[in-house]
A and B are shown apart, each in its own frame.
Chain A
Amino acid sequence: DSGVTQTPKHLITATGQRVTLRCSPRSGDLSVYWYQQSLDQGLQFLIHYYNGEERAKGNILERFSAQQFPDLHSELNLSSLELGDSALYFCASSATGGSGPLGDTQYFGPGTRLTVL
């Protein structure tokens, strides 16, 4: 158990809908990262938040947004869902923002499996 929790575990919804995925980082970790894993794209970095502020953006669609709250939990909002958004969505946390010269370890949650029908 990594200490990172994600809810829900599974989500099935229809095209055009909006969903919210939730992540609670390990106790004391300030950074939250979101990733998408699909068969055709592999594991793709979406976005990184550090202590409530957006730190880096990866391959995140404009239909997707995220935020990190004062208690450090994070939510990933996916809207106008398309069939191609079906994937496993992982969040990870790390102690810092990796701001040191050599980075730090990311600990992954169990993921949310999103199925768009």
Chain B
Amino acid sequence: SQQGEEDPQALSIQEGENATMNCSYKTSINNLQWYRQNSGRGLVHLILIRSNEREKHSGRLRVTLDTSKKSSSLLITASRAADTASYFCATDIISSGSARQLTFGSGTQLTVLP
């Protein structure tokens, strides 16, 4: 089963508007990462937020993490048509012993209309 679940599944906005995507997860994490994927292409790492951080910024991206609610949000400000893509959250958990793995959510499909 998916550790992370994004909400909404799909989001359509006008260029210039802000886009907010949410991610909820189930177990304790070491960090949470957001990735972007253009249709059929590889995943591009956007930002990593550690479990002891509450907010992080990178350019037009703002990520928050609430470990008490086991949730994270990704805000893209002043969206552009080029931001159209699927966005995934991925939780870094310890799978067994010291082994780690990333567990991905099902993604939010963002469409930015020109």
Contact = CB atoms under 8 A, between A and B. Distances in A.
Contact of B30 (A55, A56, A102): A102
Given A45-B102, A55-B99, A98-B100, A103 B42 contact: no
A92 B98 CA distance: 19
Interface in A95-115: 97-99, 101-103, 105-111, 113
A101 B92 CA distance: 11
B98 A99 contact: yes
Interface in B24-66: 30-31, 33, 35, 40-45, 48, 50-52
Nearest to A31: B100
Contacts of B104: 35, 42-45
A88 interface: yes
Given A58-B101, A97-B100, A98-B100, A105 B45 contact: yes
Given A42-B2, A105-B33, A2 B42 contact: yes
Contacts of B48: 103, 105
B40 A113 contact: yes
Interface residues of B, number: 29
Interface residues of A, number: 29
B9 to A, nearest CB: 12
Interface in A34-51: 35, 42-45, 48
Interface of A: 2, 4, 33, 35, 42-45, 48, 55-56, 58, 88, 90, 92, 97-99, 101-103, 105-111, 113
Interface of B: 2, 30-31, 33, 35, 40-45, 48, 50-52, 88, 92, 95-96, 98-107
Given A56-B95, A103-B92, 11 more contacts: A42-B107, A43-B43, A43-B88, A43-B104, A43-B107, A55-B100, A58-B95, A97-B100, A99-B100, A111-B41, A111-B42
